[in-house]
Chains A and B, each alone.
Chain A
Amino acid sequence: MTAVTMDAKTSSISIFTGRIAHVRAWAYLGMIAGLAAMAMFSGDGYVEDNFVFQMFSMQGVTWMAGGAVFGVAYAFATSARKFRAFRFSEILVPWLDGAVLMVALMGLYTLFEPSEAMISYEDQSNLFSGRIVMTMNIAFLFSALCYIAYLFAPDSFIGKLGTITAWTGVYAGGSALLLRWYESYLLMGGDIGHAPVSNLYEVFILLFCIISVVYLTLESRHKARGLGAFVMPIVAAGIFFAIWLESIGQSDIKPLVPALQSYWMKIHVPLNFVGYGSFAVACGAGMAWLVRNRVENRNPDSKLLAILPSLKQLDQLSYKAVAIGFPAFTLATILGAAWAAEAWGGYWSWDPKETWALIVWLVYGAYLHARFSHGLQGKTLAWWCVIGFVVTIFCFVGVNMYLSGLHSYGQLT
């Protein structure tokens, strides 16, 4: 009863709030459950190389629709409850919308894929994903420029432009990766198809998208647009590195070595990058804190101060980012250990990559404790976030370049 009148009262009906969001979220969840059920119980079972195609077949659509019906039924059964109970759905539904949009974009791109004769393993320059990645690069670079310009010329239009182009970059990057996944099945008769998280070039794209999504989420929740000038340049720097990787031929789709042919890879790698990406945002907030602190001391009436969030807010934002990254990184490391247990015979081998993951984890663990200890605050914590990210970068690029070990698949050659 309350819910209905509440909805009626808010003059504009939004598909992102209230009962509509609730029904949509559960329809999505039902579809996901339907797909999971198809993988487990349908006649052919789960064949990895085939599953994407099965999803879009009549069978897949039937399972998804069935799931969606159950989801909607559940949503109606529970929607008599008070409107506050919809918060879960309201948080969830934009994410699922975004994911669906990305898949749809990917489907759209496949129409532009050049004919089979123009695609070969030997010469991958015609693949369409390359162009989408280029779009992503331009979007992110432009976004970084907008955010920096916004700091000095506090025009809200420029700031908005930064946000919009950052989102554009996220959708371009995410859908390009999905397309690359599809393309890997076009090469060599589908022999080498695999998820696009197998080499440094691919995970870099993933990292850009995750950094941006974590940042943009914090931006919209906390109205902290000034922070973009510190986070997006990190992405921009990464893009130059990725362009260099491409120029030395690291962007080719290559077959997976046997050790990587495991479903663990699809979970372990993206989760790790949720960690890395969040730590990058924490680093951005740390840098912003240090800059603002300096400006406040030297030039208290600078215009910058109106744009940048307050010191307390920045401190909170960097903690928030670590609070997203730390559990994800912990879980990723544990899953990595589970994979190692299955592939190498031991969950922990003190291999350089593992050890550096532990080091990163300890650095942020110590950071969390330092927050609770009175002697350390403000400046120390901001520096801790910045240095922590330097350690993170070493863990994720440096180890591959300078140290050898079991994780040498990512090696630059």
Chain B
Amino acid sequence: MSFINQTFKPILNRLGSMPVAILLLVLLAVASVIGTVLQQNKEQADYLFQFGPTWYWTFRALGLFDMYHTWWFMTILGLLMFSLSACLIRNTPRFLKEMKSRKGTMSDNARKHIDYKFDLTFGSKDKAIAAIKSSLPDWKWMETKVGDTLWLRGDKGRFQKWGYILVHSAMLVILIGGGMSVQFGFRGNMAVPEGGKESEISFLNGTSTEYLKMPFEIRCDDFEINFFSTGAPSEFRSTLTIIEDGKEVMTSDIIVNEPLYYKGVRIYQASFGDGGSKVNLNLFRLTKKGNVDTATGQIYTQFQDPYSDVSLEFKDFRPYNIENMAAAGEPKDFKDMGPSVDFVIRGEGLTPVLVRSFMNPFMMDDANQGSFIMVSKTGDARDFESYSLGLDFSNPKEWELFQSFIRKMPAEVASSQEAEQRANLNAFRAALDEVYGEVRPDDLPMLGNRVIQALRVLPDMPWPFVPILEDYDQTYYTGLQLAKDPGMDVVWIGSGVLVLGLCIMFYIAHRKVWIKIEEEDGEVKLEVTGMSNRNPVAFEQEFEDLEQQIKDAYEQGVSS
């Protein structure tokens, strides 16, 4: 027993001491910085690339890529818990005793060392006592008689030390709750395509991805995005059905900030993406015949052109493309460019590039500027550059017209520029007759411009065809986060107590007043002394006012 006392008492005292507490708090702060500077839980390959092998392995050995779960970080938290317990054990009994036992008297010597005091002289003892009590109405009073001397002691905010006990036990409770969350909870993601089902979540554990099967399945019945007119999304909404043992248990909508709760598991709307939309593209062949094929595919799949070695790997589909069309510095002008599909185009002798093909032509001030595509040579969507293709490919007649025009253009070089222009114009008229007949299209001048632009760009296309999005059937997947957190409620309780305790600690001062009342020669002498354990400035004011208040109250008491 004494061995235990001798060994553990000093450790307990040391751990529960103020310098150790300060050290632990600062240490925890400094350690936390590391994890914010070094991005956590990225791909290992990225780290290796970023730091090189030496630093990568050093950091990895120290667990810095998943720092907040390493043994050494946990040790700091554990030590803080020990320290908190130690100082609670040490201080609580002392504070409880202090709050309970009130000393009714004060020695003259002690009074000498206190700043807040004044003396008063009155005629009547009873009225003086009444005046004091009415001046400090909601204080707690205690009377002590020592010989002929009467002592009054008043207290306000006596329970202030509870603040200390509450704050420090609350921190302990929060840390325990956090521990429970880590030990007994889980958190992971799942992606459910519209119409599809999923029951497994994936999550990162240190450097590897792990999977966990849920006791139920989730089906995504519908996913919807709403947009502001700036193109920024305003709401994501998933309609989910929970299926347990093959039976549909519940159906509910979730949005960001409004999760679903089922059997202790919370289901959150976390992200979304393309769930394998079906797309049809028209491939306008840049051959003599100029025929048009259809490429049918699905996002995340590949299309192999049967007539060449060119392939398209579909990456993403977007039903809207809202862009700010204004020049920098001008008032913004938002416009929807319509649906688009992204794919990587590959083939022998071709540099693989990322292409975004739009379904609709580009309209500027109601004038049709023809179809366009965007190409990113780096494969990064930020590097997209726009290319105008001239023709409006969504209108099949324009491609026909273009083909007919090329065929009718004079093969041999004309004698003069004038002659060439005339021949071209004739060819264009003939082509118009062939495709449109008598009824000429409305925007004939624009059409002419488009064909000229097409003549300029189409022959330079590196690919054997022009791929244009023609039709689609969109599906999203909804990205859900599933979490079970048995420590959460403990943390909330701890948090509530923490705030309550802080308010008591900071905003309530334990104020004490001792009043020594002695009768001498028919006069009553009062010696008033005050003390406050915090906020001396406010107490000074309060105490100064007290003198006048007692006098005033006494006079009223006498006059009434």
B152-171 near A? 1/0 per residue, CB < 8 Å: 00000000000000000000
Knowing A84-B136, A257-B233, the reply to whether A122 touches B22 (Cβ < 8 A) is no
The answer to whether A346 touches B232 (Cβ under 8 A) is no
Contact between A257 and B232 (Cβ–Cβ < 8 Å)?
yes
A372 to B21, CA, bound (A): 11
Per the 8 Å Cβ criterion, residues 500-526 of B in contact with A are 502-503, 506-507
Interface assignment of A98: CB less than 8 Å from any CB of chain B = no
What total of chain A residues lie within 8 Å of the partner, measured CB to CB? Answer: 64
Interface status of A343 (Cβ within 8 A of chain B): yes
- B541 to A, closest residue via Cβ: A221
Within the complex, the shortest CB–CB distance from B560 to chain A, in Å, comes to: 8
Expressed in whole angstroms, the Cα–Cα distance for A313 and B258 within the complex equals 49
Let me know if A244 is at the binding interface, CB within 8 A.
no
A191 touching B36 in the complex, CB below 8 Å, given contacts A348-B178, A369-B21: no
Q: Is the CB of A345 within 8 A of B498?
A: no
Contact assessment for B255 and A258 in the assembled complex, using a CB-CB cutoff below 8 Å = yes
- The answer to the question of B537 belonging to the interface, with a C-beta cut-off of 8 Å to chain A, is yes
Q: Which of these, A121, A323, A369, contacts B506 with CB under 8 Å?
A: A323
- CB within 8 A of B537: which of A222, A352, A404? A222
Q: Please state if A403 and B229 are interface contacts (CB–CB under 8 Å).
A: no
User: Does the CB pair A82–B268 fall under 8 Å?
Assistant: no
The verdict on A100 contacting chain B, using a C-beta distance below 8 Å, is: no
Cα distance A238–B178 in the bound complex, in angstroms: 37
Of the 9-residue stretches A174-182, A228-236, A359-367, which lies at the interface with chain B?
Answer: A359-367
B 528-551 binary contact with A (CB < 8 Å = 1; else 0)? 000000001110000000000100
- In the assembly, what is the distance between CA of A261 and CA of B232, in Å? 13
Q: Is the CB of B266 within 8 A of A120?
A: no
Interface residue stretch chosen among B48-56, B395-403, B484-492: B484-492
Q: Is B204 an interface position by the 8 A CB rule?
A: no
A347: B residues at CB distance < 8 A:
181, 485, 488, 491
Among A120, A259, A334, A372, which residue has its beta carbon within 8 angstroms of that of B495?
Answer: A334
Q: Contact: A2 with B553, CB < 8 Å?
A: yes
Residue B259 interfacial (CB < 8 Å): yes
Question: Inside 8 A of A399's CB, which chain B residues have their CB?
Answer: 36
Q: Of residues 340 to 354 in A, which have CB atoms within 8 Å of B's CB atoms? A: 341-348, 350, 352
- Residues of A with Cβ closer than 8 Å to B? 1-2, 5-6, 9, 81-82, 84-85, 120-123, 188, 191-192, 221-222, 254-255, 257-259, 261-262, 264, 313, 316, 320, 323, 326-327, 330-331, 334, 337-338, 341-348, 350, 352, 355-356, 358-359, 362-363, 365-366, 369-370, 372-373, 375, 399, 403-405
In addition to A258-B255, A346-B485, 18 A-B residue pairs with Cβ atoms within 8 Å of each other are: A82-B134, A85-B137, A121-B332, A122-B326, A188-B229, A254-B230, A258-B235, A259-B256, A259-B257, A261-B257, A334-B498, A348-B178, A352-B36, A355-B33, A356-B36, A359-B29, A359-B32, A373-B19
A-B contacts, 8 listed (Cβ < 8 Å): A81-B137, A313-B537, A343-B257, A345-B259, A355-B35, A356-B36, A359-B32, A362-B29
